[in-house]
């Protein structure tokens, strides 16, 4: 099954170890990683940074909007609205600030008020990440989900997972995911191999 | 089945290496030349041709992912060359176009790998209790 997964860690070294372990699992065939990146939420201000390579970040454009949307999408439909809105405060590892709120998020925020009491919505509001936390964001194919769960639990990671089908259909409309060959824009920001995560 | 997985693993690694090389070119764009661009561009095209040929030995679903990757790899150099002709920041733009193609191809190949791995798992006998 193809899934988008957010693996949440309390510090950078744990997150780096999580990213390494993920690609080792790919190498031995426990699962297949299609791409992965690490994001962190700052202690001050709650900004989210996207780690990159020390050389060129490997992305065509600033990664903030894409990964903000994906973080929200893993949280579910409510998170999608917040994830897009949160992109306004997200910067890439290259410290490129994203300006402006995504249009769709403005209207969506009003709907959000109706479900604000809901625990799930409350959780989504923080994009799965508390201040100071890190997340390995990845798209994987896995036949046994407990393998990744057990490995990341051993590294003190907490896993949130949604199927690729659900995320893409929620994000781009019903039946978007029909032939499996479509790749949403945020996949561009998931590295297709291991990299040493670096923050400016 | 093992041979087909190995072949795809090699292609996937080549696509990952290609992506890395292009991103290095972009990082060092002031030292990157047209000749450097041609090297990665030719590699992308060659990998696309190889994937297209190898895809014919695979089942329909895996073939779909491989042909998709081949299409990205073969189209990107041409699109990149079109960018080369436009002038300003031409080399960086051309490399970025190539980067997009290699990224999409790497992901499509990894989906083909996942599909084959899944088929191999399904075909293997269940462990005895």
Q: ipTM of the predicted structure? A: 0.88
Host domain of residue A52: 2-129+146-160
Residue B2 pLDDT > 80, yes or no?
no
Distance from C-alpha of A65 to C-alpha of A28, rounded to nearest angstrom = 33
Q: Which residue has the higher pLDDT, A12 or A77?
A: A12
Per-residue pLDDT tens over the stretch A161-194 = 999 888 887 767 766 666 667 777 778 788 999 9
Say if B41 falls within a structural domain: yes
B118–chain A Cβ distance below 8 A for any pair: yes
Q: Please tell me whether residue A198 adopts helix, strand or coil conformation.
A: strand
* Overall average pLDDT of the A151-168 stretch: 92
Considering only A133-147, A178-192, B16-30, B55-69, which range has the smallest mean pLDDT?
A: A178-192
Distance from C-alpha of B96 to C-alpha of B82, rounded to nearest angstrom = 12
Q: Please list every residue in chain A whose beta carbon sits closer than 8 Å to the beta carbon of residue B59.
A: none
Dihedral angle sign, alpha carbons of residues A76, A159, B62, B69: positive
3-state helix, strand, coil in chain B (%, to 5): 85, 0, 15
Beta strands A158-163 and A2-9, pairing class = antiparallel
Say if B129 falls within a structural domain: no
Considering only A7-21, A97-111, A177-191, B31-45, which range has the smallest mean pLDDT?
A: A97-111
Residue B15 pLDDT > 50, yes or no?
yes
Q: Please tell me whether residue A1 adopts helix, strand or coil conformation.
A: coil
Residue A8 pLDDT > 70, yes or no?
yes
Say if B119 falls within a structural domain: yes
Q: Please list every residue in chain A whose beta carbon sits closer than 8 Å to the beta carbon of residue B26.
A: 56
Distance from CA of B60 to the nearest CA of A (A): 12
Residue A33 backbone dihedrals phi, psi, to 5 degrees: -95, 125
Count how many Cα atoms sit within 13 Å of the Cα of residue A81 in the half-sphere of its side chain. 17
Host domain of residue B24: 2-123
Distance from C-alpha of B111 to C-alpha of A57, rounded to nearest angstrom = 23
Say if B13 falls within a structural domain: yes
Distance from C-alpha of A151 to C-alpha of A134, rounded to nearest angstrom = 17
Res A198: pLDDT: 77
Res A25: pLDDT: 98
Per-residue pLDDT tens over the stretch A41-99 = 777 766 667 777 665 555 555 555 667 777 777 876 655 555 554 443 443 333 222 22
CB contact under 8 A, A58 and B110: no
Say if A138 falls within a structural domain: no
* Overall average pLDDT of the B65-81 stretch: 91
Residue A154 pLDDT > 90, yes or no?
yes
Residue A141 pLDDT > 90, yes or no?
yes
Tokens of A9: 């860690």
Residue B83 pLDDT > 90, yes or no?
no
Q: Name the residue of chain B whose CA is nearest to A188's CA.
A: B103
Residue in B69, B46, B27, B44 with CA at minimum distance from that of residue A34 = B69
| Contact pairs from chain A to chain B, CB under 8 Å | 67
Res A102: pLDDT: 29
Q: Please tell me whether residue A46 adopts helix, strand or coil conformation.
A: coil
Res A29: pLDDT: 93
Say if B128 falls within a structural domain: no
B73–chain A Cβ distance below 8 A for any pair: no
Total count of domains within chain B: 1
A181–chain B Cβ distance below 8 A for any pair: yes
Distance from C-alpha of A61 to C-alpha of B103, rounded to nearest angstrom = 13
Say if B55 falls within a structural domain: yes
Q: Name the residue of chain A whose CA is nearest to B109's CA.
A: A34
Average of per-residue pLDDT values in chain A: 72
Distance from C-alpha of A22 to C-alpha of A31, rounded to nearest angstrom = 9
* Overall average pLDDT of the A193-199 stretch: 84
Total count of domains within chain A: 1
Residues 6+ apart with CB under 8 A from A68: A48, A83, A84, A86, A87, A90, A127
Ranges A159-168, B31-40, B109-118, most confident: B109-118
Beginning with the edge strand found earlier in the chain, give each strand of the sheet holding A134-141 in spatial order.
A90-91, A48-50, A32-41, A134-141, A2-9, A158-163
DSSP A76-141: -HHHHHHHHHHGGGEE-TT--BPPS--HHHHHHHHHHGGGTTSHHHHHHHTTT--TT-EEEEEEEE
Residues 6+ apart with CB under 8 A from A43: A131, A132
Residue in A76, A147, A187 with CA at minimum distance from that of residue B103 = A187
Res A66: pLDDT: 67
pLDDT band at A127 (very low <50, low <70, confident <90, very high): low
Say if A198 falls within a structural domain: no
Q: Please list every residue in chain A whose beta carbon sits closer than 8 Å to the beta carbon of residue B24.
A: 55-56
Res B3: pLDDT: 82
């Amino acid at each position: 099954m193809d899934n988008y997964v957010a693996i949440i860690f309390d510090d950078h070294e744990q997150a780096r170890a999580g990213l390494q372990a993920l690609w080792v699992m790919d190498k031995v065939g426990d699962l297949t990683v299609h791409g992965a990146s690490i994001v962190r939420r700052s202690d001050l201000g709650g900004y989210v940074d996207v780690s990159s390579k020390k050389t060129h970040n490997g992305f065509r454009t600033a990664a903030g909007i894409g990964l903000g949307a994906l973080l929200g999408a893993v949280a579910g439909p409510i998170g999608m609205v917040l994830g897009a809105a949160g992109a306004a405060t997200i910067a890439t590892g290259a410290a490129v600030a994203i300006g402006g709120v995504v249009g769709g998020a403005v209207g969506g925020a009003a709907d959000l008020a109706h479900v604000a009491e809901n625990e799930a919505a409350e959780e989504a509001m923080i994009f799965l990440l508390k201040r100071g936390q890190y997340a390995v964001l990845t798209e994987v194919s896995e036949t046994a989900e407990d393998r990744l769960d057990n490995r990341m639990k051993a590294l003190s990671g907490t896993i949130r997972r949604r199927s690729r089908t659900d995320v893409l259909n929620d994000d781009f409309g019903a039946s978007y995911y029909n032939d499996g060959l479509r790749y949403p824009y945020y996949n561009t920001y998931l590295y297709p191999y291991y990299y040493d995560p670096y923050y400016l | 089945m093992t041979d087909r997985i190995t072949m795809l693993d090699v292609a996937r690694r080549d696509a990952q290496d290609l992506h890395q090389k292009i991103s290095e070119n972009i990082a060092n764009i002031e030292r990157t030349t047209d000749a450097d661009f041609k090297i990665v561009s030719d590699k992308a095209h060659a990998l696309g041709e190889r994937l297209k040929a190898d895809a014919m030995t695979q089942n329909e679903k895996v073939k779909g992912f491989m042909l998709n990757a081949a299409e990205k790899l073969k189209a990107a150099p041409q699109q990149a060359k079109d960018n080369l002709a436009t002038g300003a920041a031409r080399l960086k733009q051309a490399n970025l176009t190539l980067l997009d193609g290699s990224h999409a191809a790497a992901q499509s190949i990894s989906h083909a790998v996942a599909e084959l791995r899944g088929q191999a798992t399904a075909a293997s006998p269940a462990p005895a209790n």
